[in-house]
A = this chain, B = another copy of it.
Amino acid sequence: MKAKVHVTLKPGVLDPQGRAVLHALEALGFGGVDGVRQGKFIELDLKESDPKKAEAEVEDMCKKLLANTVIEDYRVDISEG
Protein backbone atom coordinates (compact mmCIF):
# COMPACT_ATOMS: atom_id res chain seq x y z
CA MET A 1 0.00 0.00 0.00
CA LYS A 2 0.95 3.63 -0.37
CA ALA A 3 0.30 6.28 2.27
CA LYS A 4 0.18 10.02 1.74
CA VAL A 5 0.59 12.10 4.90
CA HIS A 6 -0.07 15.83 5.18
CA VAL A 7 1.43 17.51 8.25
CA THR A 8 0.19 21.07 8.79
CA LEU A 9 0.58 23.59 11.59
CA LYS A 10 -2.49 23.91 13.81
CA PRO A 11 -4.52 27.10 13.32
CA GLY A 12 -3.09 29.89 15.45
CA VAL A 13 0.45 28.54 15.49
CA LEU A 14 2.90 31.06 14.01
CA ASP A 15 4.35 29.96 10.66
CA PRO A 16 7.60 31.85 10.01
CA GLN A 17 8.34 29.77 6.90
CA GLY A 18 4.93 30.67 5.45
CA ARG A 19 5.51 34.36 6.24
CA ALA A 20 8.89 34.24 4.50
CA VAL A 21 7.24 32.76 1.39
CA LEU A 22 4.51 35.44 1.51
CA HIS A 23 7.10 38.22 1.65
CA ALA A 24 9.14 36.65 -1.15
CA LEU A 25 6.01 36.42 -3.32
CA GLU A 26 5.25 40.10 -2.64
CA ALA A 27 8.83 41.03 -3.55
CA LEU A 28 8.35 39.17 -6.85
CA GLY A 29 5.23 41.21 -7.60
CA PHE A 30 2.54 38.74 -6.52
CA GLY A 31 0.39 41.16 -4.54
CA GLY A 32 -2.80 39.09 -4.54
CA VAL A 33 -1.83 36.73 -1.73
CA ASP A 34 -3.41 37.16 1.70
CA GLY A 35 -1.70 34.33 3.51
CA VAL A 36 0.64 31.36 3.14
CA ARG A 37 0.93 28.30 5.36
CA GLN A 38 3.61 25.75 4.72
CA GLY A 39 3.42 22.13 5.74
CA LYS A 40 4.97 18.78 4.92
CA PHE A 41 3.86 16.12 2.46
CA ILE A 42 5.23 12.64 3.06
CA GLU A 43 4.73 9.62 0.79
CA LEU A 44 5.37 6.16 2.22
CA ASP A 45 5.59 2.74 0.53
CA LEU A 46 4.30 0.11 2.93
CA LYS A 47 4.68 -3.69 2.97
CA GLU A 48 1.31 -4.01 4.76
CA SER A 49 -1.49 -5.02 2.35
CA ASP A 50 -4.51 -4.46 4.61
CA PRO A 51 -5.72 -0.82 4.35
CA LYS A 52 -7.04 -0.69 7.94
CA LYS A 53 -3.80 -2.02 9.40
CA ALA A 54 -1.73 0.24 7.14
CA GLU A 55 -3.69 3.29 8.27
CA ALA A 56 -3.28 2.38 11.95
CA GLU A 57 0.47 1.87 11.44
CA VAL A 58 0.92 5.23 9.70
CA GLU A 59 -1.17 7.03 12.37
CA ASP A 60 1.23 5.56 14.91
CA MET A 61 4.22 6.81 12.86
CA CYS A 62 2.68 10.29 12.79
CA LYS A 63 2.24 10.36 16.55
CA LYS A 64 5.75 9.05 17.24
CA LEU A 65 7.84 10.76 14.56
CA LEU A 66 6.27 12.48 11.55
CA ALA A 67 4.21 15.14 13.34
CA ASN A 68 4.71 17.19 16.47
CA THR A 69 1.14 16.80 17.73
CA VAL A 70 1.48 19.73 20.15
CA ILE A 71 1.61 22.20 17.26
CA GLU A 72 0.82 20.13 14.15
CA ASP A 73 -2.17 18.29 12.68
CA TYR A 74 -1.79 15.33 10.34
CA ARG A 75 -3.96 13.61 7.76
CA VAL A 76 -3.35 10.08 6.46
CA ASP A 77 -4.63 8.81 3.08
CA ILE A 78 -4.07 5.17 2.18
CA SER A 79 -4.20 3.95 -1.42
CA GLU A 80 -3.46 0.78 -3.42
CA GLY A 81 -0.23 0.23 -5.32
Please, how many angstroms separate the alpha-carbon atoms of A18 and B43 in the complex? 9
Contact B6 A61 (CB under 8 A): no
A3-37, CB < 8 A from B: 6-8, 18, 21, 24-25, 28, 30, 32-37
Please, how many angstroms separate the alpha-carbon atoms of A46 and B34 in the complex? 6
Q: Is A47 positioned at the interface, with any CB of B under 8 Å from its CB?
A: yes
**In the complex with contacts A25-B65, A28-B65, A8-B44 CB distance below 8 A:** no
Nearest B-chain residue to A15, judged by Cβ? B43
Q: Is A80 positioned at the interface, with any CB of B under 8 Å from its CB?
A: no
- List the interface of chain A (C-beta within 8 A of B): 6-8, 18, 21, 24-25, 28, 30, 32-48, 57, 60-61, 64-66
